[in-house]
Structure 1
Amino acid sequence: MAILNLDTGRMLAWEVREARSFGKRLKGLMFTSSFPPGCALHLTPCHSIHTFFMKFPIDAIYLDVNREIVGIEQRLPPGVVGKRFKHVVSVVELPAGTVEQTGTKVGQAVSFQEKEVG
C-alpha cells in the first residue's frame, strides 16, 4: 500500500505497514533498527503516539475520519510523547524529513492506494 497527498499529488510512502491490533500499535517502531525513505507505519485506531525505545526521529501526520491532516509533528526525537490533536482517528509515522520534502501541511488530505501488481 502507498500513501498519496491528494492536494500536492506527492507520494508520501510506497511501503506502508498497517498496525491495527493493540499489540502492533503498542510496538509500532520500537526496537526497529532503521526506517528508510518511502516507508511508513499507519496506526489505526490511534489518537496519539510515543517514540519510546526508538532509535531515530520520525515525522508524524495525524488524520481525521476523512483522512484530512489535522496535525503534524516533524523530527520527533526518540523518547517523547507526541502532541494531542482534536479529531484524530489514525496516525502515519514517516521517516524524519518526509513532511518537509513533500510539502505536506495541515488541512491537506491523503489517500491510501493499493500497489499495482505487475
Structure 2
Amino acid sequence: MKSRHYAAISSKNINIGDRIATAGKFWDRFRGLLGRPGLEEGEGLLISPCWSIHCFGMKFAIDAIFLDEDFRVVSIHPDMKPGAMASNRKARCVLELKAGEAARHNIQVGEPLIIEPSTR
C-alpha cells in the first residue's frame, strides 16, 4: 500500500475512517493489503477501479464494501478470511476495512458513502 493519498469515509454523519489509503495504480491495486499485519479502526484501502478482490496471502480478515461510480454500496462481503474471493460487476471500486467495521457502522446496501480528502 504505497499510495499515501488518504480519504475520509463517512456515512450518516458517522466517520467510518480517516486513514483510508487509495490504490489506483496497477501494482498498488494488485498488492492491496498484502504484507500488512492487520488494520486498525479508521484504517482501510480504497481500490479503484475494481470490481473483484481476493485475500490470497493475507494474514487477517477484512470487510469488503463494493461501491458504484457514485460511491453507493452495491454489496458487502463481511469478515472475508484469508484465501477468500468476492466480486460484483456493478462495482467500480472496493473499500476494504477491518473485519467487523461494516456491521459496527451499520453500513447497508444502497447507502451512499461520502469520500473526500482527509485532513491527515
Alignment correspondent of 1:39: 43
Structure 2 regions of 5+ residues with no counterpart? Answer: 1-6
**1:21-70 Cα shifts (integer Å, max 9, x gaps):** 11000100112112111101000000110001110000010000111000
Q: Which string of whole-angstrom CA distances, capped at 9 and with x for unpartnered residues, describes residues 47-98 of structure 1?
A: 110001110000010000111000001000001111x224110000000010
Contact 2:66 2:75 (8 Å CA) reproduced? yes
Question: Are 1:116 and 2:119 an aligned pair?
Answer: yes
Structure 2 match to 1:100: 103
Superposed CA RMSD in Å reads 1.2
For the pair 1:4 / 2:10, whether they are aligned, the reply is yes
Q: Which residues of structure 1 form unaligned runs of 5+?
A: none
* Aligned residues with identical type, % of pairs: 31
**1:70–1:86 CA contact under 8 A, matched in 2:** no
Report the 3-state secondary structure (helix = DSSP H, G, I; strand = E; otherwise coil) of the residue aligned with 1:2: strand
Specify the SS of the correspondent of 1:25: helix
Q: Which structure: greater strand fraction?
A: 2
> Normalization by structure 1: what TM-score?
0.91
Residue identity opposite 1:4 in structure 2 = S
Cα distance between partner residues in 2 of 1:14 and 1:112: 10
Instruction: Give the whole-Å Cα distance in 1 for the aligned partners of 2:70 and 2:46.
Output: 15
Give 2:32's aligned amino acid: G
TM-score (norm: length of structure 2)? 0.90
Question: What is the distance in 2 between the residues matched to 1:42 and 1:115?
Answer: 13
**Alignment-derived partner of residue 19 in structure 2:** 15
* 1:42 alignment partner AA: L
